[in-house]
Amino acid sequence: MTQSDIEQPVLVTDDGGVRTITLNRPAARNAVNLAMATAIDAALTEFDERRDLTVAVLTANGSTFCAGMDLKAFLAGERPLTPDRGFAGIAQKPPRKPIIAAVNGPAVAGGFELVLACDLIVADEAVFFALPEVQRGLVATGGGLLRLPSRIPYHLAMELALTGRRFPVDEAHRLGLINRVTAPGTAFSAALELAAEIAACGPLAVAATKQIVQQGPGWPAAEAFERQAEFAAPVRSSADAVEGARAFTEKRAPVWTGS
């Protein structure tokens, strides 16, 4: 890692259709300040715009995934929000394409909310989650209270929100919140393997599928298929759809262009 990398709040790399976004304030337990939020927002906005990128992985340097909002910056009057995406540059408006959280250390408060803003979660077996805002006289407004009740049973979500207690990975996995539990130090590599499976698929189809799975439960039943078609029809008429069918008949791997 170069001196320039050390000074960056977020590191971004791209490889094989996968964008890796790494929280890079390990000395501050990757607490989110405005610079980090702005960098995450920019990385996600470019990710959504790039045809050659299909899926992202969000991970962190250091022993803590993210300790939440930088309270020192908060006391100095700073708010780690961006106009379009909200807290941490993701909470209010996650990317259009899928993003995987590779949790390699504790994710608490806004750090847990970062994880919940992702579509898939891979976590080391020794980490834990928590929404301890109530213990500090605050309210978790980074999406945790909105997302958690739809991911785990209501009464348990309420308990975690009202007590702020730690939520260990084994409990989270048993309740279906976690996709993969890994040995310590291997969450990122496991997340990359999962990302590679997704990146091998048609990028337009992947993005449309995420939107349908995410938004579909809120659609009125009478409108569901019509709304689904709004996402699916452009994909069906794309060059990638033709390429997928041709590759299948020719028994070869497809070459996606994102068009």
Is residue 179 assigned to a domain?
yes
Is residue 37 assigned to a domain?
yes
What confidence tens digit (pLDDT) does each residue in 188-236 have? 999 999 999 999 999 999 999 999 999 999 999 999 999 999 999 999 9
- Tell whether 194 and 229 lie within a shared domain: no
Would the pLDDT of 6 be above 70?
Answer: no
Q: Are 65 and 102 in contact (CB under 8 A)?
A: no
What confidence tens digit (pLDDT) does each residue in 150-184 have? 999 999 999 999 999 999 999 999 999 999 999 99
Mean pLDDT over residues 104-124, rounded?
A: 97
| Active site annotation includes 125 | no
What confidence tens digit (pLDDT) does each residue in 19-47 have? 999 999 999 999 999 999 999 999 999 99
- Which residue among 7, 78, 133, 230 is the active-site one? 133
CA distance 162 to 184: 29
Q: Which of 164, 148, 147 is nearest to 109 (CA)?
A: 164
- pTM of the model as a whole: 0.93
User: How far is Cα of residue 151 from the mean position of the Cα atoms in its chain?
Assistant: 14
- Residue-range definition of the domain harbouring residue 243: 203-249
What pLDDT is recorded for position 5?
A: 56
- Which residue among 7, 46, 49, 113 is the active-site one? 113
- Tell whether 153 and 225 lie within a shared domain: no
Mean pLDDT over residues 95-124, rounded?
A: 97
Is residue 50 assigned to a domain?
yes
Is residue 257 assigned to a domain?
no
- The runs of H, that is alpha helices, within the chain are 3-6, 34-49, 71-75, 110-116, 144-151, 154-163, 169-174, 187-199, 203-215, 224-236, 239-249
User: How far is Cα of residue 18 from the mean position of the Cα atoms in its chain?
Assistant: 13
Is residue 195 assigned to a domain?
yes
User: Using 50, 70 and 90 to split pLDDT, how confident is the model at 4?
Assistant: low
What pLDDT is recorded for position 2?
A: 54
Domain count, the chain: 2
Is residue 259 assigned to a domain?
no
The CATH number of whichever domain residue 129 belongs to comes to 3.90.226.10
Cα–Cα distances (Å) from 47 to 19, 26, 104, 205, in that order, read 7, 24, 23, 16
User: Using 50, 70 and 90 to split pLDDT, how confident is the model at 74?
Assistant: confident
Would the pLDDT of 133 be above 90?
Answer: yes
| Active site annotation includes 113 | yes
Write a three-state SS string for 66-78.
ECCECHHHHHCCC
